[in-house]
Amino acid sequence: VVEGPQGVRELLRHAPDSVRDVYLTAPAAERYVELVEAAEGSGAALRECTEEVLTAMTDTPHPQGVLAVATPVDVPLTEALDGVVASGGFVVVLAHVRDPGNAGTVIRGADAFGASAVLVSDASVDVYNPKVVRSTVGSLFHLPVVRGVPGDDLLQGCRAAGFRLLAADGRGGTMLPEADLAAPHAWVMGNEAWGLPDELLDQCDDVVAVPIVRAESLNLAMAATVCLHASAQSQDYRVTR
């Protein structure tokens, strides 16, 4: 379920074949004419309904009159990684990330800062959870997202493809400004509270911390945002794939 005009617009633009139904209230159908046209073009069923019906279909109080139901587009790991190392890109691995808002923010950051793919382990929140979809604001449809694969397999796949594995962890010995971000790399993000399990941490080539001056720590979304921005900056903000 994708809610709100911006999310539905991005869905129809980037994954039109996946859209099954688009629900609109009468005022929304009048306001978002381009959405109605895009929905018709995609072959999705267009359904007008009341705001009460929309609200009952979702857990948001204000769905802005637009909602789409789509079939998840699952990308195999090898396909998501194909060509990324050759183009000098980077990817993001979410292992044991449980909070939908955090997962959504990391996916939004991965999109904004030009990551080539997001790989979500089977122990993480489902990225098609409506709360994740909402907090990505359409970013979920901008780049390949792999899901449901064990974290161990994700890391082995990245290593086999030629990525350096960088764990993002506040206890890391390498400070972000000193991290090698020039080579193709995979950022590995762990659980909000307890980080990465040892068996994944041990596979990483480096453990990188965002330096902080005061405060106990950053939250996962903040640390990930800073790390992903650093990757983009190290590549002069170019699109790698």
Q: Does 222 engage in binding with its own copies (CB under 8 A)?
A: yes
Q: Residue 24 belongs to what H/E stretch?
A: strand 19-24
Nearer to its own copies, 108 or 147 (CB): 108
For 23-143, where are the alpha helices, taking DSSP H only? 26-31, 33-42, 51-57, 77-81, 100-112, 130-136
CB of 113 to its own copies, least distance (A): 6
| Span from 32-40, 44-52, 101-109, 191-199 in contact with its own copies (CB under 8 A) | 101-109
Determine if 171 is a binding residue for its own copies (CB under 8 A): no
Site for its own copies in 104-163 (CB under 8 A): 105, 108-109, 111-114, 137-139, 142-143
Q: What angle do CA 172, 185, 153 make, to 5 degrees?
A: 90
CA atoms within 13 A on the CB side of 208: 27
Q: Which is nearer to its own copies, 23 or 113 (CB)?
A: 113
Distance separating alpha carbons of residues 38 and 58, to the nearest angstrom? 22
Cβ-count burial of 58 within 10 angstroms (0-12 exposed, 13-18 middle, 19+ buried)?
middle
182 touches its own copies (CB under 8 A): no
Is there binding between residue 233 and its own copies (CB under 8 A)? Answer: yes
CB of 167 to its own copies, least distance (A): 19
87 part of the interface to its own copies, by CB under 8 A: no
Helices 220-234 and 100-112, packing angle to 10 deg: 10
Backbone torsions φ then ψ of 59, nearest 5 degrees: -105, 10
70 vs 230, which CB is nearer to its own copies?
230
Give min distance, CB of 48 to its own copies, in A. Answer: 27
Q: Which of 117, 126, 136, 116 is nearest to 221 (CA)?
A: 136
Shortest distance, position 162 Cβ to its own copies, whole Å: 22
- Please state, in angstroms and rounded to a whole number, the distance separating the CA atoms of residues 100 and 45: 28
State in angstroms the smallest separation of the CB of 119 from its own copies: 17
Residues of this chain that bind its own copies (CB under 8 A): 6, 105, 108-109, 111-114, 137-139, 142-143, 177, 210-219, 221-222, 225-226, 229, 232-233, 237-239
